Amino acid sequence: MPSSSPKSRMPSIQNAEREAWIEQLEQRMVQLERLASIGELTSTTTHEFNNLLMTILNYAKMGLRHKDEATRDKALTRILDAANRGAKITSTILGLSRNRAGQMEPINLVTLVDDSLMLLEREMMKYRIDIEKEFTPSPNILASPGQIQRLLLNLITNARQAIGENGTIRIRIAPEESTQSVMLTIRDNGKGISPDILPRIFEPFFSTKDGPDSSGKGGTGLGLSACKEIVEEHQGRIRVDSTVGKGTAFTIRFPWIATAPSPSQGN
């Protein structure tokens, strides 16, 4: 049959090749997104460290200039606070780089989110965005801390970009007995998402942004697809509620780890 000649089959071979090639490119983009989020974290951390160093330097100078006990006590307390903050940031980053493979471990979402938010404080100040935290003590979840941090970074950056300047991001963590899960909600009072694009926001490369903003973030359309993947790797669920002109809320549920037996039951 002439129709089954190699020549007539060419287009389908080309199509398969093209698809494989596109798939490869997509995988590469996902890797780049991962690298970019590490880069973003590094630059945020460096700024934060610089800030802490300035605080330490200024209070050290103040303590040297003023001989009275009250001023010196104040200066030393500020220095200690700044140094403690710095130590906490380094231990968070070190923890993340040690766990590059993204291994799952029991973690407390409240602690992890709180520590991660520390890194975003400066950026939020720059755009005059308030972060309101509503954290209820919750059971541990099985998670990769680095992946959860990427998830947070992506969702909070999106929230910040939807607000522009002057707004509020509310972050809520609470256990939910009925689903045996820990709920994480990130709610912004930004511009919202119109219903016609809402079904597409988790698609890879779907973006309504022209490109990266002045902080070098966003515009790839890979943030939410990465979030979805991360949530699925954690056997969790993600949902979005949005009203144009009012804001958007992303809610994620992570299955909690059944509470450990009490010490009286032995170990």
140 vs 147 by CB, closer to ligand ADP: 147
Strand partners, 169: 131, 188
Is residue 158 part of the contact set for Mg ion (CB under 5 A)? yes
Given Mg ion, ligand ADP, none, residue 248, with its beta carbon under 5 to 8 Å by kind, binds: ligand ADP
Given ligand ADP, Mg ion, none, residue 162, with its beta carbon under 5 to 8 Å by kind, binds: ligand ADP
Label residue 149 left, alpha or beta by phi (over 0 means left) and psi (-120 to 50 means alpha).
alpha
Is residue 185 part of the contact set for ligand ADP (CB under 6 A)? no
Q: Is 237 exposed, middle or buried (0-12, 13-18, 19+ CB in 10 A)?
A: middle
Is residue 120 part of the contact set for ligand ADP (CB under 6 A)? no
Secondary structure (DSSP) of 174-232: EEEGGGTEEEEEEEE-S----TTTGGGTTSTT---SSS--TTS---SS-HHHHHHHHHH
Residue 259 to residue 140: CA distance in whole angstroms = 8
Residues 191-230 that bind ligand ADP (CB under 6 A): 191-193, 201, 206-209, 218-225
Residues 221-250 that bind Mg ion (CB under 5 A): 223
Residue 129 to residue 163: CA distance in whole angstroms = 8
Is residue 248 part of the contact set for ligand ADP (CB under 6 A)? yes
Q: How far is the CB of 219 from Mg ion (least distance, A)?
A: 8
Q: Which one of the spans 22-30, 143-151, 152-160, 189-197 is the region binding Mg ion (CB under 5 A)? A: 152-160
Using DSSP's 3-state secondary structure scheme, residue 173 falls into strand
- Which tokens go with 90? 């380094």
Say how many residues touch ligand ADP, by CB under 6 A: 23
Indicate the residue whose CB is closest to ligand ADP: 223
106 vs 212 by CB, closer to ligand ADP: 212
Beta-strand pair 141-143/167-176: unpaired
52 vs 201 by CB, closer to ligand ADP: 201
Q: How far is the CB of 105 from ligand ADP (least distance, A)?
A: 26
Q: How far is the CB of 74 from ligand ADP (least distance, A)?
A: 41
Is residue 243 part of the contact set for ligand ADP (CB under 6 A)? no
Q: How far is the CB of 181 from ligand ADP (least distance, A)?
A: 22
Q: How far is the CB of 192 from ligand ADP (least distance, A)?
A: 6
Given a contact cutoff of 8 angstroms between Cβ atoms, the answer to whether 93 and 45 are in contact is yes
Radius of gyration of the chain (CA): 23
Question: Which residues make up the interface to Mg ion (CB under 5 A)?
Answer: 158, 218, 223
